[in-house]
Chain A
Amino acid sequence: MPRLELIDLHVRYGAIAAIRGANLAVESGQILALIGPNGAGKSTTLAALAGACEGKVSGQIVFDGKDISRHSPEKRARAGIALVPEGRRIFTKLTVEQNLTVARAGRADRAEVKVADIYERFPILGDFAGRQAGLLSGGQQQQLAIGRALMMRPTVLLLDEPSLGLSPKIVEEVFQSVLTLRDEGMAILLVEQNAKRAAELADTTYVMRHGKVEGEGAKAVGEELSQAFFAARGDEGTTL
């Protein structure tokens, strides 16, 4: 059974339909990449999954077999769905450690994630534990954002454009961590502008365009499909 399933998602902002029927499913220990041009609705999809979408959302969101479509963002977060949003949105005025401790794992029966565990995964955060988070570099902030998400003991990780604004070397480090998480059993939904790299990492790649999920395919097919797809449409919006 998929960890997280999206069934016939529709999102409207007033008269404008941003998402017009999206379907996808993520399994544990799997990376599902969502690629596509700007404005396709990828970020909106993640936001809708996390409960942070400001538009009118309809459709079903099923988590571990339960329909969570009506749940508030904090309830979903505590249930185990963690969003690492575009631009990271760390709490710049709090310290690194406070950014981590403010994230709450809701259920008491889940083992406590200790800050030390996060520092083990991302040593640089341990070095800067008491520093104001706004002073960190882009790559460090990205690690902090992921670490903050991990504090919630999630089973599903939603990553929105983690490579944005980062140098290639740092991007690789981040992607490595993502792969490690996948191997540890996390279900990961990855939205990326860097379509090629995302398709390489992912077990499954979906392409999204104009609010619809247009295609899906296994890892190897993913890149080819995207290339052909965009070539056919004459679109230059992605880096391939």
Chain B
Amino acid sequence: MNSRHNPLIGGLKAAAPTAGIVVPLAVLVALVSLGDQAMADAGIGALVDMVMAVGLFTFWGISGVLSFGHIAFVSIGAYTSALLTIPLTTRAFVLPALPKFLANTETSFVMATIVAAVVAAAFSALVAIPMMRLSGDAAGIASFALLIVVLNVTSNWTQLTGGLGTLTGVPTDLTLWGAYACAAVVIIAAAVYGRSRSGRRLRASREDEVAAQAVGVKVHRERRVAFVLSGAMMGVAGSMYAHWLGSFGPTDFYMDLTFLIVVMLIIGGLRSLLGAVVGAIIVSVLVWVLARWESGQPVAFLSIPLPLGFSDLVLAVVLVLILLRRPDGLTRSRELSWPSRKRRLQEAANAEVAERELA
């Protein structure tokens, strides 16, 4: 590290190239904003998904531990935000049985998002206690279980969530640039975390858990940090989701959404933040094009009639192909970095020394 004097500056500096993706992203968003309302709407959706992908990457990508349950935290974030932002009169109508405090509190999107992040983080901290001991197959099954538990509760706790039906009335006040702002914050947070000591330790444990433990990394603790951070990010995404659509139900946060985000991560590259961002963009575009064709609309003057359900099939097939052929995704799990001739020479020299030692 080149800054012993101020680790924060040093950390930000190291994270900068990775986080720098927010700049070209801004350009993309600017382009999208030139389109019509439908386009902007799709753009917001893509950014919401992107936040989820980055959130999932922060845990799964860095720790190497599987999680199919993260969408549960999105659900919690969405409901928390909704409960705080549905206008009071509407609220009395759609959620008549709310406890006093919730029935009477109304805040802004920003505030609600922060609270959503905190609540989701708290919940994930709780869940992390048993779950961080698991890895491999067990982690996969446990994360499914988490998703189901949350679904079951949100579907049945009618008093708080409106039950199985759609909860309506959330103000759709999320703008394209508002969504961008949220995404940028989350991306930068992910980049800084990835470069932090905790993040680097976690990465080390991903490569070789035993070796990492041997050098003193408290693997379970580092995992918990990542899990809670990603839980918070999912909470943000949930709030964004609620304010993007204005209405949603418990089943919005189940297998289909989980699959979508997993596809994004894997296509882009599971192990890099850049992968999460790129994957989100690519899959969003793909799904948008396919959805338009499925509903008989043209894309750039081209209209291909597609039957319903085709886009799911395409995604599934693409995922299978990527997993079998290019498991590192399109970005090959590389991050953006400062182009540095000096560093490349150093790395080459290191490799040579290693070779010689073994000979």
Q: Chain A: residues with CB nearer than 8 A to chain B?
A: 15-17, 20
- Among B354, B358, B359: residue with most chain A CB under 10 A: B358
B355 partner residues in chain A, CB cutoff 8 A:
15
- Chain A residues contacting B358 (CB-CB under 8 Å) are 15-17
Identify 7 residue pairs between A and B in the complex whose beta-carbon atoms are under 8 Å apart, listed by A's number.
A15-B354, A15-B355, A15-B358, A16-B358, A17-B358, A17-B359, A20-B359
CA distance A20 to B355 in the complex (A): 13
Number of interface residues of B (CB under 8 A): 4
Chain B residues near A16: list those with CB within 8 A.
358
Contacts of B354 in A (CB 8 A): 15
For B358, the closest partner residue in chain A by CB is A17
Q: What is the distance, in angstroms, from B26's C-beta to the closest C-beta of chain A? A: 40
Complexed CA–CA distance, A20 and B358 (Å):
10
B298 → A minimal CB distance (Å): 50
Q: How far is the CB of A22 from chain B (nearest CB, A)?
A: 15
Distance of A54 from chain B, by nearest CB (Å): 16
CA distance A20 to B354 in the complex (A): 15
Chain B contacts for A20, CB-based, 8 A: 359
Instruction: List B contacts of A15 (CB < 8 A).
Output: 354-355, 358
Cα of A17 to Cα of B355 in the assembled complex, Å: 9
- Across the interface, name the chain A residue whose C-beta is closest to B355: A15
The minimal Cβ–Cβ distance linking A235 to chain B, given in whole angstroms, is: 19
Q: Top 7 A-B pairs ranked by shortest CB distance?
A: A17-B358, A15-B354, A16-B358, A15-B358, A15-B355, A20-B359, A17-B359
Name the residue on A nearest B354 (C-beta).
A15
A21 to chain B, nearest CB (A): 11
Q: Among residues 327 to 359 in chain B, which have CB atoms less than 8 Å away from a CB atom of chain A?
A: 354-355, 358-359
A212 to chain B, nearest CB (A): 11
Q: How far is the CB of B314 from chain A (nearest CB, A)?
A: 35
Q: For the complex, what is the distance from the CA of A57 to the CA of B354, rounded to whole Å? A: 20
CA distance A152 to B359 in the complex (A): 39
- Closest residue on chain B to residue A20 by CB atoms: B359
CA distance in complex: A20, B359 (Å):
8
Question: In the complex, A16 Cα to B354 Cα: how many Å?
Answer: 9
A-chain residues with CB within 8 Å of residue B359 when the two chains form the complex = 17, 20
Q: A28 to chain B: closest CB distance in Å? A: 36
Q: Which residues of B contact A17 (CB under 8 A)?
A: 358-359
B210 to chain A, nearest CB (A): 16
- Looking at the assembled complex, report how far the CB atom of A131 sits from the nearest CB atom of chain B, in whole angstroms: 32
Question: Nearest residue in A to B351 (C-beta to C-beta)?
Answer: A15
Complex alpha-carbon distance, A50 and B354, angstroms: 30
Q: In the bound complex, how far is the Cα of B358 from the Cα of A17, in angstroms? A: 7
The answer for the CA separation of A126 and B358 in the assembled complex, in Å, is 49
* Distance to closest chain B CB from A13 (angstroms): 11
How far apart are A211's CB and chain B's nearest CB, in angstroms? 9
Say how far A94's CB is from chain B's closest CB, in angstroms: 24
The smallest C-beta distance from B354 to any residue of chain A, in angstroms, reads 6
Closest to A16 in B: B358
Q: How far is the CB of B78 from chain A (nearest CB, A)?
A: 44
User: How far does the Cβ of A233 sit from chain B's closest Cβ, in whole Å?
Assistant: 18
CA of A16 to CA of B357, assembled, Å? 10
CB distance from B105 to the nearest CB of A (A): 56
Roughly how many angstroms separate A16 CA and B358 CA in the complex, as a whole number?
7
Give, as a whole number of angstroms, the nearest-CB distance from A44 to chain B: 15
Q: How far is the CA of A15 from the CA of B354 in the complex (A)?
A: 8
How far, in Å, is A118 (CB) from chain B's closest CB? 37
For the complex, what is the distance from the CA of A214 to the CA of B72, rounded to whole Å? 60
A67 to B359, CA, bound (A): 28
A17 to B, closest residue via Cβ: B358
Q: Which B61-91 residues sit within 8 Å CB-CB of chain A? A: none
Q: Given the complex of chains A and B, what is the CA–CA distance between A215 and B359 in angstroms?
A: 18
Shortest distance between the CB of A41 and any CB in chain B (Å): 13
A17–chain B nearest beta-carbon distance, Å = 6
Expressed in whole angstroms, the minimum distance between the Cβ of A164 and any Cβ of chain B is 24
A56 to chain B, nearest CB (A): 14
Q: How far is the CA of A17 from the CA of B359 in the complex (A)?
A: 8
The residue on B at minimum CB distance from A15 is B354
The chain B residue with its CB closest to the CB of A18 is B358
Report B27-72 residues with CB < 8 Å from chain A CB: none
CB B358 to nearest CB in A, in angstroms, measures: 6
